[in-house]
Amino acid sequence: MTILSPTSIDEAVAALADPAIQVLAGGTDFMVEVNAGHRRPDKVLSLRHIPELRTWEQLPARDDPAHVRLGATVTYTDMLQPDLAQLLPALAHAARTVGSPQIRNAGTIGGNLATASPAGDTLPVLAALEAVVEVASPLGVRDIPVATFITGPKRTALSPGELIVAVRLPLLDGHQEFRKIGVRNAMVIAVASLALAVDTRTRTVRCALGSVGPGPIRATEAEEWLAGTIDWDRPAATTEAPDLAYFGRLVAGAAQPIDDHRGTAAYRRHAIGVLAERAAAQAFGAGSAA
Amino acid sequence: MSDIATTHATKGTIGENASRPDGGPKVRGEFAFSGDLWADGMLWGRTLRSPHPAARIIAIDIAAALRIPGVHAVVTAADLPASVNYGLEWRDQPVFATDVVRYVGEPVAAVAADHPEAARQACEAIDVQYEPQVPLLDPAEAAAAPPIHPDGNVFRQLTIRTGDPSARGPIVVEGAYEVGMQDQAFMGPEAGLAIPADDGGIDLIVSTQWLHNDRLQVAECLGLAPEKVRLSLGGVGGAFGAREDVSLQIHACLLAQRTARPIKIVYSREESFLGHVHRHPARIWMRHSAEADGRLVSFEARILLDGGAYRSSSYHVVANATCFSAGPYKVENALAEGIGVRTNNPPCGAMRGFGAVQVCFAHEAQMDKLAEACGVDPVEIRLRNALATGDRLLTGQVIEGTLPVARVIREAAALPLPPSPEIADPMTRPGGAGRTADAAHVRRGIGFAVGFKNLMYAEGYMDGSAARCRLSDGLATVTCAAAEVGQGFVTLAQQIARTVLGVEDVLLAPADTSIGSAGSSSASRQTWMSGGAVEKACQAVRAALLQHVADRHGIDPAQLTITDGRVTSTDARDSIDLAVADAAPGVVFEEEVEYHHRITHPLDDDGQGDAHVSLVCAAHRAVVDVDPDLGLIRVVQVATAQDVGRALNPLQVLGQIEGGIAQGLGLATMEELTLRNGRILNPSFTDYLIPTALDMPEVLATLVEEPEPGAPFGAKGVGEPPTISSTPAIVAALRAATGKALNRVPVRPQDIALGDGE
Ligand SMILES: Cc1cc2nc3c(=O)[nH]c(=O)nc-3n(C[C@H](O)[C@H](O)[C@H](O)COP(=O)(O)OP(=O)(O)OC[C@H]3O[C@@H](n4cnc5c(N)ncnc54)[C@H](O)[C@@H]3O)c2cc1C
């Protein structure tokens, strides 16, 4: 087995011209597949020694709104650091639900995207925030919105030889959060998860669901109903509370859950509605943040 | 403590929190588990297993496998030189399937290759032609179904009848309960190294619970005299019953015999789930009747246990489940029927609690129903019915030893409750790191449960353990084949030797078959049986030492004692005061003994008889926070009082209590092997969930010490009670918080949130 360990993105991209090469980031999905005998790499391209990929920056607000650009090998532990967590609170919540400390130290956002598991925990957040994935290949660089990046369960729009370089997420102004249901209280695959983000400037609500469909699902009808129902000009506490149970039902209606050994479709649909109602109550209920 | 006491007293004796000899290496990651075994020139063994729950084998073609470079041998049933069947208690299980396979995961062939990858490819290249049959999967149909094995489909049917089962009290409660298939889920998968020896025999290093029983089965199947099969214990990463049955032992030894090379086999996590027995899933019906004040009048039970394809220990699990089905309560009129059946599901056998766990879930739910029907507090109703010394079990046996049921109930109930939920950190709410619940969504419930079971084997089994003690210039060496599976026998053996001999330096020889059997590390029996053997061997050495000193001084040895590490005379005029280390310079004392417990008897046709050696009980109170809308759970606290006889090492007892509660919590809320068409859907730690630190509650424990007459040092086994009543206590708390019936464990989120399974 050959292992390449480039120190720059350019070198990595050049190496990807070899179709046999397989990209290794934190290895927390990759090595599981190797150990299970499902993946037998001959050539591995490790991203560990590319410092540019491990950094993040806040892009100047030239174009409104401002963005954060996360390198592909930013880890869950990085997302939990206070400076980043305060910019992207829902992403930090999602990061905290991932695995154990060891997994959070190794696992990366690029790996989560490339794996594209229906239960990938950053994916609902990226979908709700309408993040854009930056991809590079020997042919050049392109931007892919998350909504089109994930094409199905464990399927992406990534072409052979393409490297995820970064993810750009807009900085919204308003409450955001992520909730995840699992059968135990930590280190568990999501049975259902939900990201909610409010943007008071555009007066929009974004809500994306995880583990209740082939990929993250935007509950657009529910989003629009809620955005249209709340009174954006007055503090939540002084207005009549919107019918958040109805919001929950709309969200549940958007889910496309299946029965499997981790949970029933009926429970997933029910639970996603409960999560939606609770998240919206935090955002818009009496005494809420927005 | 006075100066004299500190200089003279022997440290690390009985009753102290002596530290484990293997503790440091384990914590530092230096302990060699059996998966770390290595020998020069060794080959890797691998097992090919059945993908079908029931199928006829039409043909097996190994030619392609043998052609793969690096493959040294492929063996099937046809290669077995002697017995083709094995089994823990009864040889009904083929080493390799011959004409039929009876469960998904049944071994069909094994290969040896110079690399694990070659071994894997070889397994893939073996061409087995199966003709799938309709599997027998519903245990309720098994007894009446056509036999799927020459021995029939019923492992045991046991009826216990006592008093007048038609007697009725005015209050009647009835219920049907179900327990899912739990796995022991130990951390260190099955592993072993078989080395062919020059004398034609085999040396096998393996992680097991019972070296000598493995040896017998290996010897039978390899056609070797038992002395030619020498086993020694590899580092064991947990057992909980799953290492009682042979797994890779015979396969590895056969391959070693065939290839004349050392063979290493290590199971993957998935193969581990397929390669060992599980806890019997159970369907249980019970009806209790009582006087208006809650005192029991009658008890009826029907217990159905799915034993899967082979017998393993099903025969005795049925006995335990039936004998202890009423719980630790007095009831004069009873009819309890237990049956264990054969199906094409994965084989089930021993797991911590051994039959008592399943029935405890049912009888404790019934006691709560009864409490409600009578308008009596759940703790009070248990006190009113608590068994005590002098009472009779369902089997008619009079309890002669200690059984402080009322005391464990009172002590557990008296432990302090945790602070109220409002002040909790969001991470400690139901849903944990997923932050699913806000404070207002959480409801708290409290539940109580009591359980009991026997210690040691039962029904006339002649149980024994052998130990040897050697003392030379103050250094004691103890030899015993008891398998250290994590329980801390190695610590206790040292503590016992120090206590009896008054020396601090105690070495433990490796556990192997060079000495007689110690029996299995199961049934909460090693502290009693092998602890008893070690005590007896040390006492024999002590007597020999005192005789030696007495002879030298021309006095009666009865006048000599060992106190605080010194040999002294009770008669002050003798002025003998010698450190044990200096008492007999250059002399070696060595004694080997066998220890037996008192005799028990079989059960008669009415399930009556003095079948059990000793009994043990514990009570658990669980405080649980629930998010009823999502069905998520956080167990906040489990308080327990446990009957320990005497705590020989209180810290180790606490370790057993905390671990047992974790396993009980697992069964209550998450641990289940789910099957579809006889296939395990979740043979991985991704999907077979066991509790994490964020699931584990605060544990408060009171050790109730009432020394057991006849037991070495008065100590009872402590391994099993923590798993028995912790599960029902947690589920009772869930019922209290949600008002749901929750008649099945593990309780799934949808059971609470949507009332599934009601
Ligand atoms: C015990 C355990 C618990 C886990 N818990 C969770 C959980 O709770 N939630 C969750 O969402 N996930 C979980 N995971 C899965 C995993 O940790 C995440 O998906 C993680 O984000 C993967 O990132 P990685 O850096 O480890 O990727 P790797 O394993 O290195 O790679 C995964 C895949 O992505 C590709 N890849 C990686 N980086 C790039 C890139 N920059 N460009 C192109 N392709 C790339 C690789 O080729 C590979 O196909 C868990 C895994 C384990 C082992």
pLDDT band at B5; cut points 50, 70, 90 = very low
Q: Do B749 and A186 touch (CB under 8 A)?
A: no
- Phi (first) and psi of residue B542, to 5 degrees: -60, -45
Q: What value does the mean pLDDT take over residues B549-571?
A: 92
Distance CA B244, CA B520 (A): 7
Tell me which of A170, A188, A220 is where a domain ends.
Answer: A170
Contacts of A39 in chain B (CB under 8 A): none
Are the C-beta atoms of residues B37 and B205 closer than 8 Å to each other?
yes
Tokens of B734: 């869930």
Q: What value does the mean pLDDT take over residues B239-268?
A: 98
**Does A227 map to a domain?**
yes
The pairing of strands B296-306 and B333-341 is parallel
Tokens of B3: 């100066």
CA of B75 to the centre of ligand 1 (A): 39
Tokens of B171: 């209050």
pLDDT at B2 over 50: no
- Longest CA–CA span in chain B (Å) reads 87
Neighbouring C-alpha atoms within 13 Å toward the C-beta of B14:
19
Look at chain B and report how many structural domains it folds into. Answer: 2
Same domain, A125 and A35: yes
pLDDT band at A238; cut points 50, 70, 90 = low
pLDDT at B632: 98
CA-nearest of B258, B261, B263 to B206 is B263
Are the C-beta atoms of residues A272 and A256 closer than 8 Å to each other?
no
Neighbouring C-alpha atoms within 13 Å toward the C-beta of B297:
15
Tell me which of B596, B623, B640 is where a domain ends.
Answer: B596
Whole-model pTM?
0.97
Task: Quote the crossing angle between the two packed helices A220-229 and A244-254, to the nearest 10°.
Answer: 160
Residue with tokens 């599980």: B278
Same domain, A136 and A28: yes
CATH assignment of the domain containing B744: 3.30.365.10
Query: Nearest C-alpha of chain A: how many angstroms from B677?
Result: 13
Same domain, B471 and B443: no
**Does B45 map to a domain?**
no
Distance CA B319, CA B220 (A): 28
Q: Is B103 exposed, middle or buried (0-12, 13-18, 19+ CB in 10 A)?
A: buried
Contacts of A179 in chain B (CB under 8 A): 431, 434-436
Q: What is the pLDDT of residues A145-158, one digit of tens each?
A: 999 999 999 999 99
Q: Of all helices (H) and strands (E), which one includes residue B698?
A: strand B698-704
Are the C-beta atoms of residues A177 and A105 closer than 8 Å to each other?
no
Judged by DSSP in three states, B113 sits in strand
Same domain, A154 and A198: no
Give the contacts of B556 (CB within 8 A, at least 6 positions apart). Answer: B550
Q: Which of A185, A212, A267 to mutate to test the interface with B (most CBs of B within 10 A)?
A: A185
Q: Mapped to the 3 state alphabet, what secondary structure does chain A carry? A: CEEECCCCHHHHHHHCCCCCEEEECCCCCHHHHHHCCCCCCCEEEECCCCHHHHCEEEECCCCCCCEEEEECCCEHHHHCCHHHHHHCHHHHHHHHHCCCHHHHHHCEHHHHHHHCCCCCCCHHHHHHCCCEEEEEECCEEEEEEHHHHEEECCEECCCCCCEEEEEEEECCCCCEEEEEECCCCCCCCCCEEEEEEEECCCCEEEEEEECCCCCCEECHHHHHHHHHHCCCCCCHHHCCCCCHHHHHHHHHHHCCCCCECCECHHHHHHHHHHHHHHHHHHHHCCCCCC
**Does A289 map to a domain?**
no
**Does A270 map to a domain?**
yes
Q: What is the pLDDT of residues A3-43, one digit of tens each?
A: 999 999 999 999 999 999 999 999 999 999 998 889 999 99
Are the C-beta atoms of residues A289 and A175 closer than 8 Å to each other?
yes
CA of A153 to the centre of ligand 1 (A): 14
**Does B145 map to a domain?**
no
Contacts of B750 in chain A (CB under 8 A): 263-264, 266-267, 270
Q: Which residues form the domain of A35?
A: 2-49+66-170
**Which ipTM score applies to this complex?**
0.95
Look over chain B and give the mean of its residue pLDDT values, rounded to a whole number: 96
Same domain, B731 and B631: yes
Q: Do B434 and A184 touch (CB under 8 A)?
A: no
- Longest CA–CA span in chain A (Å) reads 65
Are the C-beta atoms of residues B635 and B697 closer than 8 Å to each other?
yes
Q: Using CA atoms in the order B336, B340, B346, B350, what is the torsion angle rounded to 10 degrees?
A: 70
pLDDT band at B7; cut points 50, 70, 90 = very low
pLDDT at B421: 76
Q: What value does the mean pLDDT take over residues A159-164?
A: 95
Query: Hey, CA dihedral for B484, B185, A97, B751, is it positive or negative?
Result: negative
Distance CA B578, CA B219 (A): 49
pLDDT band at B707; cut points 50, 70, 90 = very high
Taking chain A, what is the end-to-end CA distance rounded to the nearest angstrom? 54
Q: Of all helices (H) and strands (E), which one includes residue B404?
A: none
Q: Which residues form the domain of B755?
A: 400-449+615-758
Q: What is the pLDDT of residues A108-133, one digit of tens each?
A: 999 999 999 999 999 999 999 999 99
Are the C-beta atoms of residues A53 and A45 closer than 8 Å to each other?
no
Between A103 and B1, name the one with better pLDDT: A103
The minimal CB distance from B434 to the residues A181, A262, A274 is found for A181
Look at chain A and report how many structural domains it folds into. Answer: 2
Residue nearest to atom 52 of ligand 1 (CA): A28
Distance CA B530, CA A127 (A): 61
Q: What value does the mean pLDDT take over residues B158-166?
A: 95
Same domain, A182 and A120: no
Q: What is the pLDDT of residues B254-303, one digit of tens each?
A: 999 999 999 999 999 999 999 999 999 999 999 999 999 999 999 999 99
pLDDT at B6 over 70: no
